[in-house]
Amino acid sequence: MSLSFSIAATDGVSRLGTIRTPHTDIETPVFMPVGTLGSVKSIPQHILEELGVQILLGNTYHLYLRPGHEAIGEMGGLHRFMSWERSILTDSGGFQVFSLSELRKVTEQGVEFRSHLDGSSHFFTPERSIEIQIALGADIIMAFDECTEHPASRERAQASMAMTTRWARRSKEYFETHKNEVPWAASRSGSQSLFGIVQGSMYSDLRRESAERLVEMDFPGYAIGGLSVGEPRELTREIIATTLPLLPKDKPRYVMGVGYPEEIVEYAAMGVDMMDCVLPTRAARHGLLFTSEGRMNIKNARFARDNQPPDGNCTCLVCSRYTRAYLRHLFVSREPLAAVLNSIHNLAHYLDTMRSVRHAIRLGELQAKLSGAARASEQTS
Ligand SMILES: [Zn+2]
């Protein structure tokens, strides 16, 4: 068994569950920090462990270009290469091919693109993406998809979704034949698991068709992709709300690339089990902290002589030791430690947020808590 998913409690449509992978058991709903290049920017692995990170994301496009999947495969796979014994998920590279690379040419066969590093020419197919992801050896890998730009015409979205569906079938066929070639397959129980990705842009009937075709292919988990591409937040929520019920209840459901702290709470309450986002670490590098009291721009002059911790309700190793004045000083002096400390706090905030969501589902209080929060914000706005 490569992956199993069990649900321990529900509250409305939200679920408290466990995903068992060959490396670790993951409590859901889970927030997954993004370690694009085999590193969550500015945070070493032992601190990620201390923060309680259960699963990390790695990036197929970036790791393929540098240092190369073959090198990582020879080093025993991504877990061993980056010294991370907990779970890893790799994306298929589709999103980066479409957002970062230049001169891409998309055909039914795959995507030809130029590296954003040196302009060299490369060709990704569904088979190639899975081959790379097998060499990297993540516990959960993703089918190769086309992430449709926003806005997209209906005709364009339909053609793109249909191709993504055919690519999902090819991804699965290649994976089923080669899945035992993962570097650690012989030493662990089971192998990798391949998830399908629902596309269809902002058209709910296309999303439905995409979901139905993927469910027929019987993946062990499903993602909703193609969101956070510049669409209004209302639309993101609507697409998630209409797509989730189309996916099997007994499989993990993953929304890719979201979101702000209040959004991940909301999506977990809607029944999403997995989420990832670069926001906590990216915002940290720009001096933006997420706290229990809202957002805080640490470079603000009013923090110059502020001896309080960044977040008085946070027990992370930054808030229990350093002051706002010191973090502001580091940031305006461009000290590398600023990015480290800000990133640690932001990640701690996201992980604590998810921990309290899981706790609330266990107690059956998440839905009540959310409607209370919505009422409070209506009163103050
Ligand atoms: Zn903190």
- Residue 105 pLDDT more than 60? yes
118 is annotated as an active-site residue? no
- Residue 127 pLDDT more than 80? yes
Whether residue 151 is preceded by a cis peptide bond, meaning omega within 30 degrees of 0, is: yes
pLDDT attached to residue 359: 98
CA of 310 to the centre of ligand 1 (A): 7
In the sheet with 140-142, reading across from the earlier edge strand, the strands are 30-33, 274-277, 253-255, 222-224, 193-198, 140-142, 87-91, 55-59
CA of 318 to the centre of ligand 1 (A): 5
pLDDT digits (tens, 9 = 90+) for 234-278: 999 999 999 999 999 999 999 999 999 999 999 999 999 999 999
- Residue 346 pLDDT more than 90? yes
Give 372's pLDDT tier (boundaries 50, 70, 90). confident
CA of 299 to the centre of ligand 1 (A): 17
Return the minimum-mean-pLDDT range out of 37-46, 180-189, 210-219, 280-289: 180-189
Question: What is the CATH architecture of 4-277?
Answer: Alpha-Beta Barrel (3.20)
pLDDT attached to residue 379: 62
Q: Where are the domains of the chain?
A: 4-277, 285-371
pLDDT attached to residue 381: 43
Mean pLDDT value across residues 149-160 = 95
pLDDT attached to residue 231: 95
273 is annotated as an active-site residue? no
Could you give the angle at which helices 336-363 and 366-380 cross, rounded to 10 degrees? 120
pLDDT attached to residue 143: 98
pLDDT attached to residue 120: 93
Whether residue 261 is preceded by a cis peptide bond, meaning omega within 30 degrees of 0, is: no
Burial tier of 34 (Cβ tally within 10 Å: 0-12, 13-18, 19+) = buried
Of 201, 353, 192, 195, which Cα lies nearest the Cα of 277?
353
> Which member of 91, 139, 311, 352 is catalytic?
91
Identify residue 134 by its one-letter amino acid code: I
CA of 346 to the centre of ligand 1 (A): 7
CA of 315 to the centre of ligand 1 (A): 6
CA distance 197 to 224: 6
pTM of the model: 0.97
Cβ–Cβ < 8 Å for 81, 72? yes
> Which member of 11, 139, 145, 276 is catalytic?
276
Cβ–Cβ < 8 Å for 41, 342? no
pLDDT attached to residue 9: 98
Dihedral over Cα of 368, 372, 373, 377: its sign: positive
CA of 314 to the centre of ligand 1 (A): 5
Mean pLDDT value across residues 152-167 = 97
Cβ–Cβ < 8 Å for 276, 32? yes
pLDDT attached to residue 189: 75
Give 200's pLDDT tier (boundaries 50, 70, 90). very high
Residue 136, helix vs strand vs coil:
helix
